[in-house]
Amino acid sequence: MADNNQNTGAENAPVKPKPAAPVAAKPAAPGAAKPAAKPAAKSDAPSGGVYKPPVVRAETNPYADSRVSPLAAWFQERFYVMMPIIDYLKKKEVPKHKLSFWYYFGGLTLFFFIIQVVTGLLLLQYYKPTGTEAFASFVFIQKEVPFGWLIRQVHAWSANLMVGMAFIHMFSTFFMKSYRKPRELMWVSGFVLLVLSLGFGFTGYLLPWNELAFFATQVGTEVPKVMPGGAILVDILRGGEDVSPETLTRMFSLHVVLLPGLLLLVLSAHLLLVQVLGTSAPIGYKESGMIKGYEKFFPTFLAKDAIGWIIGFALLIYLAAVFPWEIGVQADPLTSAPLGIKPEWYFWAQFQLLKDFTFEGGELMAIILFTIGAVVWAAVPFLDRKASREEKSPIFTILGLLVLAFLVINTYRVYAEYSAL
C-alpha cells in the first residue's frame, strides 16, 4: 500500500519504555505430558467471597518518571495503560498538497455538531414538547428568555451549516478517493453520520409546532405509505394515522435521545478511525512528488482547524443575527395546508424526484431508485476496486459528478419553483 497508508504511524512506534508484561502462567510445551490432576486452583476459587484473578497484573507505571505537571502525573498514574495510545496519536501527521484545504471540512462538521449539543441543551431548559405548549414555549424562548433568541437562531443555523459541511466533506473525501483501502469503514461510518444528521433535521423541524413544520411533516411522513408495509412505518413515526401531538412526542424523543446517542456512538468510531489510520493523500500524489511535506496533527493542524472554527463561528453569529428564522403561526391540524409547503433544503433533491415521477406507481419507483442509489453510494469503497489498488478510477469520479449534479440541479429546481410563489 503506497500512498493511502503512509501515515498509519506503524513505523513511528513510541520509543517510551514499554509497560512491564503481565506475569502470566507459562504455557506447557507442545507434547508435554498433561499434569495428572489440576492442583486446587486457589486463585480462581472465591475465598471468603473475594474473587482473585488468575493473572498477576503489572503494578509499576513505566511512565512514572516522565516530566509532566503534578495534575498530569496524577492522571498518568491511573491511566498509564493508555499512554502508548496517546504517544501513537501524537505522531499523527497530515500531508500538505494543493487539495489539503478540503481536510478542514470534517473538523467544521464536528464543530457545528458540538454547537448543536450545547445550544440544544440550553433550549431544553425552556422547551415543552406538548401540542399545547410547544409553540408557546418557542415564543417564550424567542421573546422573553435572555439571549434565548440568539440560542434558538444559532441552533437553527448551525443545523443547516452542519449538514452543509457534512455534504462538502463527503464529496471532497469522495473525489480524493479517501474511502479506499484501508479506510472503507471511515466512509461507511461517515455515510451513517450523514443519514443521522438528516434525521436530526427532519425530527427537529416539527418541534416549534408551527404551521409550516406541521404540514411539511405530514407530507414527509406520508412518503413511505407507497411502499409495501410502509403504512406500519408511517403509523409508528406518527404515533397514529395523522400527524398529531403524539407525533411531536415521538419526534422529540428521537431528536434528543435516540439520534444523539447513535450519532455519538458512530462519531466515536469515525474519529477513532481517523486517528488510527491517519489522513490519506489523493492517489498518485506521493509518487509524483506532489506532497510538499507533512505537518503534525497536534498542534499544527489542530491550530489551523481552530482558525476554521473561528471563521465558522463568526459566520454562524452573523447569520443568526442578520437572517433570523421565523417562528410562524401555531400549527392547527384543522386548517388546510397553506401554499408552498416544502421540506428543508437538504431533502429538496428527493422531493423533486417524487414530484417528477407523477405517473402511476411513480412514487414507489422514485423511492426504489433513491434507495438503490443510496446503497450503492454507501458501498463505493467496496465497488471501486481500482482505487483500492492505488490506481485512478475515472468511472467513480464520473459517478460522483453525476450524483453531485443530480443533487444540485434538483435542489435548484425546488428553490426556483418555490421562490417564485
Phi and psi torsions of 95, nearest 5°: -70, 145
Q: Per-residue contact track with ligand HEM, 144 to 173, x per CB under 6 A? A: ----------------------x--xx--x
Q: Between residues 75 and 382, which has the closer beta carbon with respect to ligand HEM? A: 382
d(CA 107, CA 104): 5
Q: Which of 148, 190, 220, 245 binds ligand HEM (CB under 6 A)?
A: 190
Q: Between residues 22 and 293, which has the closer beta carbon with respect to ligand HEM? A: 293
Q: Between residues 9 and 208, which has the closer beta carbon with respect to ligand HEM? A: 9
Give the helix/strand (H/E) hosting 94: strand 93-95
> Closest residue to ligand HEM, Cβ-based?
190
331 binds ligand HEM (CB under 6 A): no
Q: Residue 280 CB, nearest distance to ligand HEM (Å)?
A: 4
User: Cell 412526542 identifies what position?
Assistant: 249
Q: Residue 389 CB, nearest distance to ligand HEM (Å)?
A: 17
Of 262-291, binders to ligand HEM (CB under 6 A) are 267, 270, 274, 279-280
Of 107-126, binders to ligand HEM (CB under 6 A) are 107, 109-110, 113
Q: Which of 63, 138, 157, 191 binds ligand HEM (CB under 6 A)?
A: 191
Q: Residue 7 CB, nearest distance to ligand HEM (Å)?
A: 9
d(CA 260, CA 269): 14
d(CA 100, CA 305): 12
Q: Between residues 274 and 319, which has the closer beta carbon with respect to ligand HEM? A: 274
Determine the distance from the C-alpha atom of residue 148 to the mean position of all C-alpha atoms in its chain, rounded to a whole number.
Answer: 27
d(CA 120, CA 255): 10
Among residues 230, 244, 181, which one has the least CA distance to residue 381?
181
Number of chain residues interacting with ligand HEM (CB under 6 A) = 26
Indicate the residue type of 382: F
Q: Between residues 305 and 363, which has the closer beta carbon with respect to ligand HEM? A: 305
Three-class DSSP category at 294? strand
d(CA 372, CA 288): 37
Q: Are 173 and 179 in contact (CB under 8 A)?
A: yes
End-to-end Cα distance, the chain: 55
Among residues 165, 185, 166, 187, which one has the least CA distance to residue 176?
187
Q: Residue 265 CB, nearest distance to ligand HEM (Å)?
A: 12
Q: Between residues 166 and 212, which has the closer beta carbon with respect to ligand HEM? A: 166
d(CA 299, CA 236): 48
Q: Residue 101 CB, nearest distance to ligand HEM (Å)?
A: 10
Q: Which of 135, 138, 157, 187 binds ligand HEM (CB under 6 A)?
A: 187
Interface ranges with ligand HEM (CB under 6 A) = 103, 105-107, 109-110, 113, 166, 169-170, 173, 178-179, 183, 186-187, 190-191, 193-194, 197, 267, 270, 274, 279-280
